Chain A
Amino acid sequence: MPVRKLLLVAALLPGSLLADDVVRVAVASNFIQTAAKLTKHFSETTAVSVRISSGSTGKLYAQIINGAPFDVFLAADTERPRLLEQDGYAVPGTRATYATGSLVLWSRDERLRGRNCREVLQRGDYNRLAIANPETAPYGDAAMQFLVAEGLWQGVSSHVVYGENIVQTLNYAATGNATLAIVAASLMSYPGLPSTVCMWRVPQSSHAALNQQLVLLERAADDEAANSFVEYLRSDRAAAIIERDGYTVVR
């Protein structure tokens, strides 16, 4: 093939196949908004481009151990990063807590106007409550812990619907299909979210801490761009962005 044709083909290929100054990041759904802000800031200062894939922590974990081409994993829990480190999928010593999340009970349903969300949940006079799947999504697990701890689980279980990840859970309530949803507080700044009718902050003491950890994955152990991205995520400037989105960061 003439060189010119080869160049043409090369120009049509996705950038990732040619240059490796691309960092591929797997991000838990609740953090996607913040991750987008962080990567934008990072890319502006370093000229490294970052590609984000999002999903529930459980799904991303399953993809990673089955060979998905990710360099960095921003999970919504500590368990999956720990397992990845233990089983040799992540670079030892790179595991770190980058954010601590919290939950809110939220509704856009006009019929709840002027009422207290928490009370509605308690009295059970609503249609559906959406939580993320506790099996796969840490925020769903925390929501369930809260409901069990408050003695509400028995009462709500006939109302509960399960979102595949935390953003789908919010979607169920945002489209009005579920009256209430228990979601990550960080999602409250989601663009396009219908205006809040009632919201109640779930006390962090009612569930295990929602510590979110990151790891550098084994395939990117020597990748400079990926290493610098992880370093950036643990910087004060990144922490400020993360905190602005409603998380707590231990510095």
Chain B
Amino acid sequence: MEIFGPLWLSVQLALVTTFVLFLIGTPVAWWLARTAASWKPAAQAIVAMPIVLPPTVMGFYLLILLGPYGAIGSWWFELTGSTLTFSFTGLVIASCIYSLPFAVQPMQNAFESLPRQMLEFAWTQGASKRDAFFSVAVPMSARGFVAAAVLSFAHTLGEFGVVLMVGGNIPGETRVVSIAIYDHVESLQYGAAHQMSLLLLAFAFTVLLGMYMVNRRWSLR
């Protein structure tokens, strides 16, 4: 019974997605936290949309967009000769969009609660903006970063609808654990479905418990 294949694939997807979201999400969150631009609410709304939108809406658009006739997919197709849909890379793109708010929002909250004087003090002491960001803002926002990492990772692991629509269920490439469970249920292999589901249940509880315990310790400090 292949249980660990799909599970490992999901973990890989979640790790890569979390990493990419740190690269993309940090500057976005920093900008959102500090900007006074009139279109900040619009930017915030765009970032938060995946929370509200049904996965089918995202899956549908991505199927078109990443396909060989789509804006992104056609370009990728020219470059590599294969489509982005039905590929691990495609799932990473989909997951980054799907989990974006779960990375950006905790970071943004953390940045917003930074005392402005701290940064200004660092600047007056001759630190460059970049230095001040990495030596003052980042350590002081550790809690936000931890929350962003945990939530992006866990939310990507729980992804189903989008993958069902753009994944194509390829073992080792796009058959992630949620899809494998769905298949097992549909083909009445309840034993395998139970094993995988129980593992995920335990995992979800452990991760969230860990996060809330860390949170509590931090707030007691």
A residues with a Cβ closer than 8 A to B are 56, 58-59, 61-62, 127-128, 130, 133, 135-136, 160-164, 168, 171-172, 175-178
Contacting pair A177 B183 (CB below 8 A) = no
Across the interface, B188 reaches (CB within 8 A) one of A62, A127, A133, namely A62
Complex Cα spacing A175 to B183, Å: 24
Contacting pair B186 A161 (CB below 8 A) = no
Contacting pair B186 A136 (CB below 8 A) = yes
Contacting pair B85 A177 (CB below 8 A) = yes
**Can you list 9 pairs linking A and B with CB atoms under 8 Å apart?**
A61-B188, A135-B183, A171-B63, A175-B63, A175-B64, A175-B67, A177-B66, A177-B73, A178-B168
Interface membership of B212, Cβ < 8 A: no
Contacting pair B86 A128 (CB below 8 A) = yes
Contacting pair A56 B186 (CB below 8 A) = yes
With A62-B186, A136-B187, A175-B63 in contact, do A164 and B86 touch (Cβ < 8 Å)? no
Give the shortest distance, in Å, between B167 (CB) and chain A (any CB). 8
Contacting pair A127 B82 (CB below 8 A) = yes
Contact with A along B164-189 (1 / 0, CB 8 A): 11101110000000000001011110
Contacting pair A59 B186 (CB below 8 A) = yes
Interface membership of B10, Cβ < 8 A: no
Classify chain B's interface size: 20 to 34
Q: Which residues of B contact A164 (CB under 8 A)?
A: 164, 169
Give the shortest distance, in Å, between B82 (CB) and chain A (any CB). 6
Interface membership of B69, Cβ < 8 A: yes
Contacting pair A58 B186 (CB below 8 A) = yes
Contacting pair A62 B185 (CB below 8 A) = yes
Closest to A136 in B: B186
Q: Which residues of A contact B73 (CB under 8 A)?
A: 177
Q: Which residues of A contact B187 (CB under 8 A)?
A: 58, 135-136
Give the shortest distance, in Å, between B63 (CB) and chain A (any CB). 6
Closest to A161 in B: B168
Complex Cα spacing A135 to B2, Å: 15
Closest to A66 in B: B185
Q: Which residues of A contact B85 (CB under 8 A)?
A: 172, 177
Contacting pair A127 B83 (CB below 8 A) = yes
Give the shortest distance, in Å, between B176 (CB) and chain A (any CB). 13
In the A-B complex, list the 10 residue pairs whose CB atoms are closest, starting with the nearest: A161-B168, A162-B169, A58-B186, A136-B186, A177-B67, A135-B187, A177-B85, A161-B86, A59-B186, A176-B68
Q: Which residues of A contact B188 (CB under 8 A)?
A: 58, 61-62
Complex Cα spacing A62 to B185, Å: 7
Give the shortest distance, in Å, between B70 (CB) and chain A (any CB). 9
Complex Cα spacing A25 to B9, Å: 37
Closest to A128 in B: B86
Closest to B170 in A: A161
Q: Which residues of B contact A163 (CB under 8 A)?
A: 168-169
Complex Cα spacing A127 to B166, Å: 15
Give the shortest distance, in Å, between A133 (CB) and chain B (any CB). 6
Across the interface, A176 reaches (CB within 8 A) one of B67, B165, B170, namely B67
Give the shortest distance, in Å, between B73 (CB) and chain A (any CB). 8
Give the shortest distance, in Å, between A82 (CB) and chain B (any CB). 14
Give the shortest distance, in Å, between A162 (CB) and chain B (any CB). 4
Contacting pair B186 A177 (CB below 8 A) = no
Q: Which residues of A contact B82 (CB under 8 A)?
A: 127
Contacting pair A177 B169 (CB below 8 A) = no
Contacting pair A172 B64 (CB below 8 A) = no
Which one of B67, B69, B83, B165 has the highest number of Cβ atoms from chain A below 10 Å of its Cβ?
A: B83
Complex Cα spacing A162 to B48, Å: 31
Complex Cα spacing A163 to B166, Å: 10
Contact with A along B83-100 (1 / 0, CB 8 A): 101100000000000000
Contacting pair B186 A162 (CB below 8 A) = no
Closest to A164 in B: B164
Complex Cα spacing A128 to B185, Å: 26
Closest to A134 in B: B187
Complex Cα spacing A130 to B168, Å: 8
Contacting pair A176 B69 (CB below 8 A) = yes
Give the shortest distance, in Å, between B62 (CB) and chain A (any CB). 10
